Amino acid sequence: MDLSKLCIHTITTKPWNLETAIPKYAAVGIGGVSVWRDAAQGFSGGIESAGEFIRSEGLDIVSYVRGGFFTALEAAARQKAIDENKRIIDEAAALGAPLIVLVCGATPGQSLFESRKQIADALAALVPYAQSAGVRLGIEPLHPMYADSRSAVVTMAQTNAICEAVDHPYLGATVDVFHVWWDDQLEQQIAAAGKADRLFSYHICDWKNQPEDMLNDRGLMGEGVIDIERIGSWVEQSGFSGYEEVEIFSNRYWAMDQDEYLALIVDSYRKLKGHR
Amino acid sequence: MDLSKLCIHTITTKPWNLETAIPKYAAVGIGGVSVWRDAAQGFSGGIESAGEFIRSEGLDIVSYVRGGFFTALEAAARQKAIDENKRIIDEAAALGAPLIVLVCGATPGQSLFESRKQIADALAALVPYAQSAGVRLGIEPLHPMYADSRSAVVTMAQTNAICEAVDHPYLGATVDVFHVWWDDQLEQQIAAAGKADRLFSYHICDWKNQPEDMLNDRGLMGEGVIDIERIGSWVEQSGFSGYEEVEIFSNRYWAMDQDEYLALIVDSYRKLKGHR
């Protein structure tokens, strides 16, 4: 089966460092990788050589994960976040990643409306820098269970609204089925993002029935309640033709043999695509 | 301070049975109690005498918790759920509770749109029975992190839509700040519910920053990120003048001395109401 549009996030196989993970992905025919910051920074030769290594193994670098966390009570702290995100853009450029995924932040004690305004302001300030580096920025709305301190952006509608307010070709959306599957406006908002050429990337995994952990109990595709095939069809119909990126945080899967786990990932992707 | 509009859910002080909890609540001047089904069923003299006991201690019975779980793949199972909810209505009437709180259900493998349709159908079938028993039904939208198998209704907008579709004076909404605080449509949707005389009850607690557990790590008012005062003002402006019901599931608080915990509840309520 063709795995050329399958991408894996390095954090999915967290026990493997980049030196180990990339040849493993390449050996089974996976087309792309999204590189987490710690994986790139941990590479022995530095970030630029990490990019060269990945390309020499025949893999596309799909995105650099992650920037964001723009909100804060004080203006000085918000400026510090913008500066930090410029460094992240520099790193993505050095790696050769065309996209940074953004977890936009939220500040306890501050309304989500105010936080979203701060996020839009920060992105307006940042996006010219991203363009000059040739790196696009994808806002990833997170599940509302992370609205306390991780992301005031919890829906695709809010993502699209921020993109419209900033209105720049280097700012768009990252859809992760785990975060948005519950939303009754999802189909329309994916279509709206696609129509505006703002759907930049697409993450898959599954929401298990009654997860044991709010962070690290994600499921493989097919293991949970999300109709990934349906959401995938909306994404495709919106005009998106990029990678399907497997991003799974799971204490259970991190604890198992990672070669066996990689085989499970490929198998669940195969089943999702109808090759049973 | 006047605690006559403060209500506590029996599950909040779960280690106490009804015989213990009611006099404890009464002793500190709390006005109302919402009775969980297990607490009523565990009362030695049966449900009717549980009601008499509570009233004899000077407390109002605010609601009976909980009915619902209307969704299922098979029609026979959905009919069974309606029958079970008729029994719950009978119990509420025997107790003397004017309201049942509904957790409406969700079925893994079934779309949330279909589940919400099933919920509306079940409620249309059930609400005449509730009226003849003199018991109102309050749909409680749950947080989207419970959309896998507990509730396909995750917003006040969806709650209002179901109420409009069924259109019956005995069907309305229960707002719990824990479940809806993140929703950017909350203010408008609370106002809409109030305008239609459909805001039946109001639950308070707090969402802690990065809870340790998806179910049982709720915070006392003031301990988390929710602007309860603001949401409370929307509820008040909508015309609601009923109880503020403290419903907290917390392994931490259940493990402590319940007299001390009750004092903390009263203290956090006092602070919320501005009596510092």
| Residues B38, B63 contacting (CB under 8 angstroms) | no
pLDDT category of residue B1 using cuts at 50, 70 and 90:
confident
The pLDDT assigned to A275 comes to 62
pLDDT at A276 over 70: no
Distance, CA of B226 to CA of B243 (rounded, Å): 19
Closest CA in chain B for residue A146: B210
| Residues A163, A173 contacting (CB under 8 angstroms) | yes
Is residue A266, in this structure, part of any structural domain at all? yes
User: What contacts B224, CB < 8 A, 6 or more positions away?
Assistant: A108, A148, B206, B207, B208, B209
DSSP 8-state secondary structure symbol assigned to residue A94: H
Apex B41 CA angle, B243 and B171, nearest 5: 45
Q: Is any Cβ of chain A less than 8 angstroms from the Cβ of B274?
A: no
Give me the count of residues in chain B. 276
How crowded is residue B275: how many other Cβ atoms within 10 Å of its Cβ?
Answer: 10
B53 membership: H or E segment, kind and range: helix B47-56
The pLDDT assigned to A80 comes to 98
Is residue A63, in this structure, part of any structural domain at all? yes
pLDDT category of residue B275 using cuts at 50, 70 and 90:
low
Average pLDDT over residues A234-255: 98
Q: What residues make up the domain containing B220?
A: 6-272
The DSSP code sequence of A157-194 is: HHHHHHHHHH--TTEEEEEEHHHHTT-TTHHHHHHHHH
* Neighbour-count burial for A109-138, b at 16+ CB within 10 Å, e otherwise: ebebeebbebbbebbebbbebbbebebbbb
Is residue B164, in this structure, part of any structural domain at all? yes
The pLDDT assigned to B147 comes to 98
Question: Which tokens sit at A106?
Answer: 């939220």
Query: Which of A146, A148, A178, A231 to mutate against chain B (most B CBs within 10 Å)?
Result: A148
| Residues A232, A242 contacting (CB under 8 angstroms) | no
Cα-only R_g, chain A = 18
Separation of CA A255 from chain center: 23
3-state secondary structure (DSSP) of residue B110: coil
Contacts of B151 in chain A (CB under 8 A): none
Query: Residue B230 maps to which CATH number?
Result: 3.20.20.150
Average pLDDT over residues B199-214: 97
| Residues A8, A35 contacting (CB under 8 angstroms) | no
Q: Is any Cβ of chain A less than 8 angstroms from the Cβ of B143?
A: yes
Is residue B193, in this structure, part of any structural domain at all? yes
Q: Is any Cβ of chain B less than 8 angstroms from the Cβ of A154?
A: yes
Longest dimension (CA), chain B: 54
- Picking from B3, B15, B6, the residue whose alpha carbon sits closest to that of residue B254 is B15
pLDDT at B188 over 90: yes
Distance, CA of B140 to CA of B198 (rounded, Å): 12
Q: Which residue has the tokens 């959905």?
A: B78
Q: Which amino acid is at A184?
A: D
Is residue A1, in this structure, part of any structural domain at all? no
Cβ-count burial of B108 within 10 angstroms (0-12 exposed, 13-18 middle, 19+ buried)? middle
Question: B245 - beta bridge partners?
Answer: B7, B203
Query: Which of B73, B162, B180, B182 to mutate against chain A (most A CBs within 10 Å)?
Result: B182
pLDDT at A117 over 80: yes
Is residue B139, in this structure, part of any structural domain at all? yes
The pLDDT assigned to A76 comes to 98
Is residue A27, in this structure, part of any structural domain at all? yes
Contact A112 B214 (CB under 8 A): no
How crowded is residue A89: how many other Cβ atoms within 10 Å of its Cβ?
Answer: 24
Separation of CA B205 from chain center: 12
The pLDDT assigned to A1 comes to 84
**Residue B58, phi-psi category: left (phi > 0), alpha (psi -120 to 50), beta (remainder):** left
pLDDT category of residue B90 using cuts at 50, 70 and 90:
very high
How crowded is residue A20: how many other Cβ atoms within 10 Å of its Cβ?
Answer: 12
- For chain A, the average pLDDT equals 97
Is residue B1, in this structure, part of any structural domain at all? no
Query: Which of A71, A149, A215, A225 to mutate against chain B (most B CBs within 10 Å)?
Result: A225
**Residue A144, phi-psi category: left (phi > 0), alpha (psi -120 to 50), beta (remainder):** alpha
Number of structural domains found in chain B: 1
Average pLDDT over residues A128-144: 98
The pLDDT assigned to B167 comes to 98
| Residues B140, B102 contacting (CB under 8 angstroms) | yes
Average pLDDT over residues B167-175: 98
- Picking from B49, B39, B46, B33, the residue whose alpha carbon sits closest to that of residue B16 is B39
pLDDT category of residue A218 using cuts at 50, 70 and 90:
very high
Average pLDDT over residues B35-52: 96
Measured CA to CA in angstroms, residue B21 lies from B14, B26, B262 at distances of: 9, 9, 10
Average pLDDT over residues A130-148: 98
Phi, psi of B110 (to 5 degrees): -120, 140
| Residues A244, A269 contacting (CB under 8 angstroms) | yes
| Residues A190, A157 contacting (CB under 8 angstroms) | no
E strand residue ranges, chain A: 6-9, 32-36, 60-68, 99-103, 136-139, 171-176, 199-204, 244-246
Q: Which of B108, B111, B182 sits opposite A144 (nearest CB)?
A: B182
Contact A109 B155 (CB under 8 A): no
Q: Which amino acid is at B217?
A: D
Query: What is the pairing mode between strands B136-139 and B6-9?
Result: unpaired
Contacts of B214 in chain A (CB under 8 A): 145, 210-211, 213-214
**Residue A239, phi-psi category: left (phi > 0), alpha (psi -120 to 50), beta (remainder):** left
Query: What is the pairing mode between strands A171-176 and A6-9?
Result: unpaired
